Structure 1
Amino acid sequence: MQRIWTTAQVRAAEDAALASTPAGALMRRAAFGVAVQARRLLLGRSGGVAGRRVTLLVGAGNNGGDALWAGAELRRRGVAVTAVLLDVDRAHRAGLAALRRTGGRVVDAAAEPALARDRVCTAELVIDGIVGISARGPLRPSAAELVDAAADGGVPILAVDLPSGVNPDTGVVDGPAVSAAATVTFGARKPVHVLAPHRCGPVYLVDIGVGPYLDAGGDPHLYLPELADVAARWPVPGRTDDKYTQGVVGVAAGSAVYPGAAVLATGAAVLATSGMVRYAGPAADAVRDRWPEVIAAASVEQGDVLARYLELGGGPGIRTSHRLTDAAALAGLDESLFRRLWLASGLRDQNDASEADIEMLRVAAGALEAGMPIDALLQIIRVLNDSLTRVAEAENRLFHYYVHERLRAEGLAGAALVAATEEVSGPLLGLMEPALLYFHSKAWQRALRDDLVVHLAEDVGGAGDAIGQVSVTVLFIDLARYTAMTEAMGDLAVATVIERFSDLVREAASGYDGRVLLQVGDEFMPVFRDSPSAISCGLSVMAMTAREAQFPDVRLGAHAGPALYREGDYVGATINLAARVTSEAERGQFLVTESMKLADPDGTVSFVSVGLRSMKNVGEPVELFEV
């Protein structure tokens, strides 16, 4: 099993190792490993080492130092080594001196660009020591030109630690970068080595003594199974096994017109050595012709899991589909507008459009023809997609956790489990559409009432300067020492606390005409039309949580001001300031800005100044008041 460590983990381990080893020892070990692999590449390419030509591309810092010391090692084996310095003033001094002592040549790429290019093109191997694991972004133009010259001349590149220009933690390439014939890395494999293998080539790991320091710092970021690891875990049939104990795979894919998806998906299941493979769908004949060992049928029994999946239109290639360019014309939209609506609908991962997709876009086209501005329509579609995606996910996951898993725990399996699950899920599926309509109707009534208030406010004070600008009061509420509580109590116990906390916050918010707009973990963001309501809600939450047995203290912060309404949310400095005010609160404390204090005309709430506070991303210090 290969262990993969992030660059931050590797740097921390290297720092610890450097503190306990002689100066330069780690670099010399790394350089020796580079030189060994360079000799192997030279032998494989030209049949020898002595007299062969190697060019080093040397950047600033330790990566360039590794290349220079490796060049010194190669000089001792009779290799003609030239170091092309990309930044003369920042080249590693000790490595450069070592190369010169052994007779290596040095070229300043900036002063002699033609000579530098010639040394690259005439080399039999180039060693990439341009940048190391701390660098981000593409190669600079001068380095990129030399790397391109090596590629044009067919000269292989050996990368030191990683190919320069490739992000070490993601493998992403944002511009010119090295594509190495091989890579020599030190101490540990980094994410780039498994995420961008086509850039790294074969990766050779050199032990430089940082392993114990890596282990002391925590677990690896990733594990990469090797063939032996997979083989050790692969289930091997025993004498008592049959096709059922080895796993049954059901495939629902393809259509009579386009059977390819069915044949490919079924073949994958067969080649994975499943105990039995069942196919259900209109491409059954094509599947049987290609994979005769598969149990294939054009239909399945009612109540079967595959039947349910097929009813929902699941599986690749099942439904009639259209190319996106054709779908745009069918929906009556020009292609650019079609794609904007397509992305807003969350369909980025679909490469074709179903009849249902096209019908939805026809409705959108009708809204545009009726006069709905495109910016507003896109926001509505994004809100609908995001909200209903969350609803669907909650339906499926909560049903799985609270129904399906409990039935399994009672000992049900196979057909009995499917039947019991269907008995519960059937009525629930019939409930969802009327429930969605009901909640939408109730929310619509409230939204109309709120909109009436907005119109009245505009009649008195005028509309905001920007489209969607409104006055809003934002309250943030969270639990103090939530992280410590999670570590002490465990996730399950804390989840019970959060559920109760959610009930209390939502009860208080609705009692004062507020709405919880956001919940992230233990943090809630209710919004209100006026400050007195927000203050009353906050005090109510404090009182209710204080009455709860063994309940943690809460922190609250609020601010009132203008905000922009976008996609069902509020954005702007008012929200940012309210969040920063909350972070200033201590356990059991409710802090507000002066805008909240001024909005309490009858003086029923006392406000105590806690002084001016400087807060992150807030330009000037702000006076805060404890409620």
Structure 2
Amino acid sequence: MRIAYSVETVRAAERELMARLPQGALMQRAAAGLAAACADLLGRVYGSRVALLVGSGDNGGDALYAGARLARRGAGVTAVLLNPDRAHGGGLAALRAAGGRVATVGGGAAGAGAAGGGGAAAAGGTATSGGAAVGGGPMAGRGPATDGSAATAGGAAAGSGGMAAGGTAAGGAAAGGGQAPSGGQVAGGVASGSAAPSGGQAAGGVASGSAAADRGLTDGGSEANGDAEAAVARADLVIDGIVGIGGKGGLRPDAERLVRAVRGILVAVDLPSGVDADTGEVRGSAVRADATITFGTYKPGLLIDPAHTHAGALRLIDIGLDAHLPADPDLEALQHEDVAALLPRPSAESDKYRRGVVGVVAGSARYPGAAVLAVSGALRGGAGAVRYVGPAADTVIARFPETLVHSGPPAKAGRVQSWVVGPGLGDGAAAKHSLEDVLASDVPVLVDADGLHLLPAGSDLRKREAATVLTPHAGEAAALLGVSREEVEAGRLAAVRALAERYGATVLLKGSTTLVAAEHQPVRVNPTGVGWLATAGSGDVLSGLIGSLLATGLPARDAASVGAYLHGLAARRTTAPHGAPIAAYDVSTALTDTWRDVLA
């Protein structure tokens, strides 16, 4: 299971861990993992061009230390400082000592100070002959390098050869710059495309015959302000260390312009700059990374749209936080093994009634197909029998002769272990009575589509004897909350939590990243959904599937989570390998093989 924690929780865990580690060790762990991941993406480090987009937070420090590691392996690394006076002093020292270069945005030489004989940035103070920045700099008090040498990304002293990407210095000790919680994010950034390698470089990271010489690098390894964008544009890989996990809002114009210049692989540090780590919201332009390397634990925004679509491929780096994180995360994402453990299995003594009977109240003269699709999902959800109640009985029987049918009302249709009500039901008096009948029962109920429209405003479903599951899409959720659809889509996590609290129900909010919320429990995000599921009737199949899982005895939150997972996986199976249009019934027919795949 993937789990995610809020920024506040992550920072508290980092503080606890840092109190037990040598100064700066946590940043070195993060930088080592970041450098290793970037090396994997590059394929060949030696001779490649790497640009670092460096802000004032610790994400910028992670990027600088990782850049130093890559430089020691023969990459030509240029750090572009968006706020030179507040750049991480220890990281700058390590990068310069490794042969990296520095460009600035906003005027002036990088670092606002002179580099000493060891190549370390003074960062407002004076560099010693060993290269460590001392005194006066913005990083003062966070741990200068010891033993007269600038710290490298792995914690080894510069000049000692450092360590290969992915390694860690003995004991994890980090010199120079220390470590603060990996925070400080503002939102914003712009999409960048796929890799476009632009040629090799000579050993030591200087581009042979390239603009590095033509644009006039200074002896201290700094480029003029106007060269920053060119350095980004020619890079094979760009590391986004602009802001950290605590920021809000969009990128500033200088940062946005630089991100638009990216032509190579774009890798985000911890999360893409411009996305909200806690909510997944994107307020303004945001970096759209090819990959995001995150540290310690996933952050909710990495798993929830719209931010999720900006993260690219995700890679989690273990930095030792697990022992300091609480047992209950803020967000969960089930994986294959989690779903396999929850799937119901009949015993040798099972009969169709012991396996559970799901009742389906769906369809109308106008929408008979909704009944067929809901029943199709229910038949493949693990229950022993499906009992259909409604006006589309003839249509349902013609397609699925194994279905038990009844004209209604639901209370007189026979015993069931769960109900599904709403798909294609209409809004007439009979539909309202059917909803009231089902909600008055003592078994779990799933309410979808027209059933949600008929649900009385402010209904407190806690008063029911059994669980209730609501499955709205964004428009239906907006109506239930009395807000705009745009507000729901921009803040999906807040919306699903608000619905669960207001109605006292388990809520499955359908969408590009489907969310499942229940009171006092972590929200679950479904990782299997695909855009091809946005087709008429797919929600009816999902309702029947979840209702069937409820009838087998799965708790409401588990039934909704497992149903969404199988539903998305069935769509992926149907559209594989390259994606193709599908119909809702295609998803239903793929569920049996999908179930088998999960158990394999």
TM-score (norm 1): 0.48
Tell me which of the two structures has the higher relative contact order, counting C-alpha pairs closer than 8 angstroms and 6 or more residues apart: 2
Q: TM-score, normalised by structure 2?
A: 0.50
Report the structure, 1 or 2, having the larger strand content. Answer: 1
**Which has more radius of gyration?**
1
